[in-house]
């Protein structure tokens, strides 16, 4: 929406604004903005300036340290100089995640493992799956990655089910999700004649589903979650209609680390003849092993007859290099709707299994190397260590009176506060060197436990620093901080296009020299 046009929309749609104004007692600043002609753009411009000021220094710390290249140098620099500069930047950026100050992001991080992945990538850095005649090794890597993850996510299922499982290797969880949603759109049109496709997903489902809905013109019907942050089953059943092409559940959902009631959801979808997608990008390499360790893991995989596809990220808890994920399907017939072919192009017959044409075969080699080296025993032990740290943190966070944990998570822990500004707590943690995830609806912060947090003293340090951050915010209630107001504003403004405008400013800053 053009922000200057809000006043015109008020005149054209008085009912909508009357409804909006019922909530404005909670947002007096926004109320003043909406009621004052010409102020909207000025207010947003002010917020944009604040965003740029806050993130500018953080996002572009090398402006003064290194030369900025606005155009190709007249004479190329020496390899030695270039590599030295790259090494300096690497060294400056690795401290936080190496020492366990980061939520998620780097899931393994041990130097010997990183060196191993880099060596595997280096050996196959020139390979490209687009040219299987030149690099048949990539076909081996990817087919085996798919098989290993499919077998991992179907243990206990009949062999007749397991032998039909198939999939593709993608560039990440977002691509895996988008491929599945596109597949179900096209399958529904071909098999059921649906031309106005819709998908049903919880509000906690990953934003990649919103992206898929936007790109592929699928209407996304979002359903609420219950008091335990699990998808509301009654709402799901009401949302499904004749145009529904897929139902989605998370294992677990990114915000609060909660696994949706996938057994009940997928059973109902099966009864209605609708595909069901489990998004296990985050938990696919943890939940199977957590179950073996005795943790109460709800059913979520191909053991459920209604689950027709699963997305799982090898580059998260699969400990592969960044840039690989897997999309799995119950049978090749479904996967065929994902494949793209052109048979009458003058350049020859063209086909590709995913969105990209050329792809880095080195990433597939490194992904394969991670899986076969880590093995089931390695993933089981990693899960054991991660879940032990999560158990400790949940107990200790629950002891902090001002905080409460949302739901009953396994290894992604979201916490909120009924008495303090949780974003100011996060800001204090940032000042101590942490990079945590700020969430909203409800306002909370989460930490995704990784192997980095299993190192000696890390979990204890986190709890002590969190206690200190809470105490500091409690002792200084009038302070606003620098980034906390931005999080608070983004979480509270009902007009989401305003927030979207600020996010676009952030992306502008990313590409600004």
- Tell me, yes or no, whether 190 and 324 share the same domain: yes
Whether 494 shows a pLDDT value over 60: the answer reads no
CA proximity to 150, closest of 318, 312, 267 = 312
Sign of CA dihedral 312, 313, 316, 318: positive
Whether the pLDDT of residue 24 is over 50: the answer is no
Q: Is residue 72 part of a domain?
A: no
Confidence label for 500 from pLDDT (cuts 50, 70 and 90): low
Q: Does 348 score more than 50 pLDDT?
A: yes
All residues at 6 or more sequence positions from 144 whose CB lies less than 8 Å from its CB, including other chains: 368, 371, 372
Number of domains in the chain: 2
The pLDDT, as a whole number, for residue 510 is 76
User: Residue 282 phi/psi, 5° resolution?
Assistant: -85, -35
Residue 471 falls within a domain, yes or no? no
Question: 58 with 183, same domain?
Answer: no
Q: Which of 371, 400, 423 is the last residue of a domain?
A: 371
Indicate whether 187 belongs to any domain: yes
DSSP single-letter state for residue 407: S
Tokens of 322: 């960044």
| pLDDT per residue as tens digits for the range 367-388 | 999 999 999 999 999 999 999 9
Instruction: Give the pLDDT band (50/70/90) at residue 228.
Output: very high
Asked if the structure places residue 41 within a domain, the reply is yes
Give yes or no: residues 365 and 504 share one domain. no
Could you tell me if residue 280 is inside a domain? yes
What strands lie across the sheet with 325-329, from one edge to the other? 166-170, 325-329, 309-312, 276-279, 244-250, 198-202, 219-223
Please list, in sequence order, all residues whose beta carbon lies within 8 angstroms of the beta carbon of residue 333, skipping any fewer than 6 positions away: none
Mean pLDDT confidence for 133-154: 96
Is residue 266 in some structural domain? yes
Quickly list H helices, 99-172. 111-123, 136-152, 159-162
Q: Are residues 224 and 362 located together in one domain of the fold?
A: yes
Last residue of a domain, one of 345, 371, 397: 371
pLDDT of residue 381: 98
pLDDT at residue 97, rounded to an integer: 83
Strand pairing of 276-279 and 350-352? unpaired
Asked, for residue 235, whether it belongs to a domain, the answer is yes
Same domain, 170 and 59: no
Burial of residue 24 (CB within 10 Å: 0-12, 13-18, 19+) is: middle
71-92 residue pLDDT tens: 999 999 999 999 999 999 998 8
- Is-cis flag, bond preceding 252, omega within 30? yes
DSSP state of 137: H
| Coil/strand/helix, residue 384 | helix
pLDDT at 46: 67
Do residues 347 and 211 share a domain?
yes
**Domain containing 196: what range?**
166-371
Q: What is the CATH number of the domain that holds 212?
A: 3.40.640.10
Task: Please report the pLDDT score of residue 168 as a whole number.
Answer: 98
Rounded to two decimals, the pTM is 0.87
Q: What is the pLDDT of residues 28-67, one digit of tens each?
A: 444 444 444 454 556 656 666 666 666 666 777 888 889 8
Final residue belonging to a domain, choices 317, 339, 371: 371
Q: Band of the pLDDT at 504, cuts 50, 70, 90?
A: confident
CA angle centred on 155, ends 152 and 161, rounded to 5°: 105
CB–CB of 263/236 below 8 Å? Answer: no
Q: Indicate whether 400 pLDDT > 60.
A: yes
The answer to whether the Cα torsion of 98, 103, 109, 110 is positive or negative is positive
Q: What is the pLDDT of residues 81-131, one digit of tens each?
A: 999 999 999 988 887 788 888 998 888 989 999 999 999 999 999 999 989
- Residue-wise DSSP of 201-261: EETTS-HHHHHHHHHHT-EEEEE-B-TTSSB-HHHHHHH--TTEEEEEEESS-TTT-----
Inform me whether the pLDDT recorded for 178 exceeds 90. Answer: yes
Q: Please check the confidence at residue 137 and state whether its pLDDT lies above 80.
A: yes
């Amino acid at each position: 929406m053009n922000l200057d046009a809000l006043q015109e929309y008020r005149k054209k749609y008085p009912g909508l604004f009357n409804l909006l104004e019922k909530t404005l007692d909670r947002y007096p600043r926004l109320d003043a903005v909406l009621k004052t002609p010409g102020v909207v753009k000025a207010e947003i411009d002010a917020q944009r300036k604040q965003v740029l000021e806050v993130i500018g220094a953080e996002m572009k710390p090398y402006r003064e340290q290194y030369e900025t290249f606005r155009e190709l140098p007249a004479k190329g620099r020496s390899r030695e100089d270039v590599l030295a500069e790259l090494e300096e930047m690497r060294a400056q950026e690795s401290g936080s995640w190496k020492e366990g100050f980061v939520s998620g992001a780097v899931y393994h991080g041990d130097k010997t493992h990183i060196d191993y992945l880099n060596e595997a990538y280096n050996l196959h850095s020139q390979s490209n799956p687009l040219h299987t005649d030149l690099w048949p090794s990539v076909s081996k890597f990817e087919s085996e990655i798919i098989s290993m993850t499919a077998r991992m996510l179907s243990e206990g299922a009949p062999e007749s089910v397991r032998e039909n499982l198939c999939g593709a290797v993608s560039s990440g969880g977002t691509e895996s999700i988008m491929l599945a949603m596109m597949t179900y759109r096209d399958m529904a049109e071909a098999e059921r004649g649906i031309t106005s496709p819709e998908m049903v997903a919880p509000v906690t489902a990953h934003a990649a589903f919103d992206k898929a809905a936007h790109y592929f013109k699928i209407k996304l019907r979002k359903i609420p979650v219950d008091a335990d942050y699990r998808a509301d089953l009654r709402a799901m059943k009401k949302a499904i209609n004749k145009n529904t092409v897929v139902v989605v559940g998370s294992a677990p959902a990114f915000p609060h680390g909660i696994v949706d009631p996938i057994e009940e959801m997928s059973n109902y979808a099966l009864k209605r003849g609708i595909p069901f997608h489990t998004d296990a990008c985050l938990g696919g390499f943890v939940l199977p092993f957590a179950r073996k360790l005795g943790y109460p893991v709800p059913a979520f995989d191909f053991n459920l007859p209604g689950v027709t596809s699963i997305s799982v990220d090898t580059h998260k808890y699969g400990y592969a290099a960044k840039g690989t994920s897997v999309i799995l399907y119950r049978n090749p017939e479904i996967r065929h709707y994902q494949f793209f072919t052109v048979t009458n192009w003058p350049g020859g017959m063209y086909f590709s299994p995913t969105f990209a044409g050329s792809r880095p075969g080195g990433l597939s080699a490194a992904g394969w190397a991670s899986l076969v080296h880590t093995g089931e025993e390695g993933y089981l032990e990693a899960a054991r260590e991660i879940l032990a740290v999560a158990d400790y943190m949940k107990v200790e966070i629950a002891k902090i009176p001002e905080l409460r944990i949302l739901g009953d998570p396994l290894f992604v822990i979201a916490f909120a506060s009924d008495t303090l500004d949780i974003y100011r707590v996060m800001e204090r943690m940032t000042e101590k060197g942490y990079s945590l995830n700020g969430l909203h609806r409800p306002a909370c912060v989460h930490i995704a436990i990784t192997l980095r947090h299993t190192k000696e003293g890390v979990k204890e340090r986190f709890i002590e620093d969190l206690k200190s951050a809470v105490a500091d915010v409690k002792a200084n209630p009038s302070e606003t901080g620098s980034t906390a107001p931005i999080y608070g504003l983004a979480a509270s403004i009902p007009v989401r296009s305003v927030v979207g405008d600020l996010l676009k400013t952030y992306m502008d800053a990313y590409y600004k020299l």
